[in-house]
């Protein structure tokens, strides 16, 4: 016997299966439903890989075009949300590769030694933390996101990005140092105000 939660999950799964079938057949109404179901969550994924909202919107749009073009390839294997997420990440990485052919790695900000701070309570909103990640140099941001959020190994990051494992490790270390410096700077500001 199904409990209420299991029944709800079962209904959502069946509804999603029906929407996917409609999308495979090109039904515009089902494409709109699918977009509404996943766009806000996928926009959050895109934001982590971009510097700003406009770039994230472009990646989201390009990603959903790919979702609808390739939806028949899903084949009900694994998580559909995970499948869409992978497409969004790959779309962001394609944009990075395209841009990296014309751009050189940005000059690194000065990295200072960690300083001791008074224990001041300083809370960060998710938006503030996202802004710090978005400010990372592009390659560092990509490596950081793949390693931290997608839980890839350095070997997987290296293969995905077309870099060496050593470069992946170095870029992650530098990204973490930059983020730590940004957070420490913010803590200092809050301590001065408080």
Q: What is the pLDDT of residues 133-152, one digit of tens each?
A: 989 999 999 999 999 989 99
Question: How much of the chain exceeds pLDDT 70, in percent?
Answer: 79
Residue of 62 and 191 predicted with greater confidence: 62
As a whole number of angstroms, the distance between CA 9 and CA 15 comes to 10
Q: What is the pLDDT of residue 6?
A: 55
As a whole number of angstroms, the distance between CA 99 and CA 95 comes to 6
Residue of 36 and 111 predicted with greater confidence: 36
Where are the domain boundaries for CATH 1.10.10.10 in the chain?
126-193
> φ, ψ for residue 171 (rounded to 5)?
-65, -40
Residue-wise pLDDT tens digits, 120-130: 445 667 778 88
159-182: average pLDDT: 93
* Band (102; pLDDT cuts 50, 70, 90): very low
As a whole number of angstroms, the distance between CA 21 and CA 135 comes to 40
Residue with tokens 């494409």: 31
* Band (51; pLDDT cuts 50, 70, 90): confident
169-191: average pLDDT: 88
* Band (14; pLDDT cuts 50, 70, 90): confident
What CATH class does 6-100 carry?
A: mainly alpha
103-115: average pLDDT: 41
Q: What is the pLDDT of residue 169?
A: 96
Scanning 71-163, the segments in alpha helix (DSSP H) are 80-100, 126-134, 138-148, 154-161
Where are the domain boundaries for CATH 1.10.1740.10 in the chain?
6-100
Per the prediction, the chain carries an average pLDDT of 82
- Alpha-carbon Rg for the chain, nearest whole angstrom, is 20
Kindly tell me if the per-residue pLDDT of 191 is higher than 60.
yes
Q: Right CATH number for 126-193 from 3.30.360.10, 1.10.1740.10, 1.10.10.10, 3.40.50.10320?
A: 1.10.10.10
Instruction: Please enumerate in sequence order all residues whose Cβ is within 8 A of that of 67, keeping only pairs 6 or more positions apart, or say none.
Output: 34, 84, 87
Q: What is the pLDDT of residue 13?
A: 72
* Band (9; pLDDT cuts 50, 70, 90): low
Q: What is the pLDDT of residue 130?
A: 84
- Following DSSP, what letter does each residue of 47-80 receive, concatenated? HHTSSSHHHHHHHHHHHHHHHHHHGGGTTT-S-H
């Amino acid at each position: 016997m199904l409990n209420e939660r299991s029944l709800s999950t079962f209904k959502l799964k069946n509804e999603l299966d029906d929407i996917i079938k409609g999308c495979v057949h090109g039904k515009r109404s089902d494409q709109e439903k699918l977009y509404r179901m996943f766009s806000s969550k996928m926009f959050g994924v895109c934001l982590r890989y971009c510097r700003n909202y406009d770039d994230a919107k472009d990646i989201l749009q390009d990603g959903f075009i790919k979702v609808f073009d390739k939806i028949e390839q899903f084949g009900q294997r694994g998580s559909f949300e995970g499948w869409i997420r992978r497409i969004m990440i790959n779309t962001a990485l394609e944009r990075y590769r395209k841009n990296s052919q014309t751009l050189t790695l940005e000059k690194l900000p000065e990295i200072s030694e960690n300083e001791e701070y008074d224990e001041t309570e300083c809370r960060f909103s998710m938006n503030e933390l996202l802004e710090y990640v978005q400010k990372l140099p592009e390659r560092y941001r990509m490596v950081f996101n793949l390693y931290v959020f997608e839980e890839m190994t350095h070997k997987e990051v290296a293969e995905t990005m077309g870099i060496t494992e050593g470069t992946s490790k170095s870029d992650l270390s530098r990204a973490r140092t930059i983020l730590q410096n940004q957070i420490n700077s913010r803590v200092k500001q809050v301590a001065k105000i408080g």
